[in-house]
Amino acid sequence: MDQRVRIANTGIEIACRPGATILAAALEAGVLYPHGCQSGNCGACKSTLLDGRVEMEGYSDFALMAEERARGQILACRAIAVTPCEVAWLDVDDLIAHPRRRLSTTVVAIDDATHDIKRVMLRIDGGGPFAFSAGQYASVAFAGVPPRDYSMANRPGEDVLEFHVRRMPDGVTSAHVARAVAVGDKVRIEGPFGTSYLRESHRGPILAIAGGSGLAPIKSIVEQALARQLPQHIYLYVGAREERDLYLHDHFATLAAAHPTLHFIPVLSEPGGATTRRTGLVHEVVGQDFDDVDGCKAYVAGPPAMVEAATMLLTGRGLRRIDVHADAFYSAAEMAAAGRKTGDQM
């Protein structure tokens, strides 16, 4: 039997088929419900269950902590209504809903950012600009391979979109990008998606933490914050394994030299020799620098383990969970294991 679920933020009531999650039913009904991974791992769909009962499919503690569940919070992407319900998503004041669009683009440049990351520049063929908030992602369809989710690394409003594509083991699409994509190729994009975007009204310090090609959305966030002349300090931590995995170093060093509010801290986890850089896991270095992060906002993007560790550290140091905007990049294999959408997202 279908269950009726009222979404308090919109006043809309939707019908949830047996076995369908609240998020799936809401998206099917055209509701712009905040979400990210759709697999219980990111927390972007966190909601308050105001009335009724749900059954929860598996999820990570990172996405929903035990005390949050005890307070009546749920993950809409894992919640199946077993009675009529009323739910409200969190963080409603910050919600920005850009219309979802499909656009044709052309590759205007592709180069090696590192030995395993390609930087792909796509010019919008027509109908631009592509409206999104800094930190969001799009589904990118190169010809002949499955579409994948990649974050925009450029600022909103620009004619050329920038994506960072890391070569994944067994990644069909990333292998294609590494070997075959060339200037002049047509690429379809659809989006934007994601809720881990820059909150421009916030005035506390910004912690921007990137691992690997998670630098893409963080780059967009940092550059947008600077372009908007946000007054607070921005602490940009970029984690990489060794020197050859660091990219856009000179770009950010130059930005930091020009903007006294930007502090750029590259971190190597396996330097493989003497180095003048900070070393260790990137979240550990953040922990060395900050005892208390109350009042900050954190934007975190990278491999799931790094995102989870950084989030745990930050919440343990006083940051409210709603002030951590985290984007974990799952491989196609990880997504498939979760039984959800696939994406060799960086």
Query: Which CB sits closer to ligand FES, 253 or 305?
Result: 305
β-bridge partners, 262? 234
Q: Say whether the peptide bond before residue 192 is cis (omega within 30 degrees of 0).
A: yes
The stretch among 29-37, 127-135, 181-189, 269-277 that binds ligand FES (CB under 6 A) is 29-37
DSSP H helical segments within the chain, as ranges? 22-28, 66-70, 172-179, 215-227, 249-258, 282-289, 304-316, 332-337
By CB under 6 A, residue 26 contacts ligand FES: no
By CB under 6 A, residue 118 contacts ligand FES: no
Among 14, 20, 42, 234, indicate the residue that binds ligand FES (CB under 6 A). Answer: 42
User: What's the angle, vertex CA 158, arms to CA 97 and CA 119, rounded to 5?
Assistant: 105
Among 7, 74, 77, 81, indicate the residue that binds ligand FES (CB under 6 A). Answer: 77
CB of 72 to ligand FES, least distance (A): 16
Inter-helix orientation angle 282-289/304-316, to 10°: 20
Binding to ligand FES, residues 47-76 (CB under 6 A): 63, 75
Binding to ligand FES, residues 3-22 (CB under 6 A): none
Query: Which CB sits closer to ligand FES, 35 or 118?
Result: 35
**CA pair distance 164, 140, nearest whole angstrom:** 11
By CB under 6 A, residue 37 contacts ligand FES: yes
Total binding residues toward ligand FES, as defined by CB under 6 A? 13
**CA pair distance 229, 168, nearest whole angstrom:** 36
Among 3, 36, 208, 256, indicate the residue that binds ligand FES (CB under 6 A). Answer: 36
Q: Say whether the peptide bond before residue 304 is cis (omega within 30 degrees of 0).
A: no
Whole-number CA gyration radius for the chain: 20
By CB under 6 A, residue 267 contacts ligand FES: no
The residues of the shown chain that bind ligand FES, judged by CB under 6 A, are 35-38, 40-45, 63, 75, 77
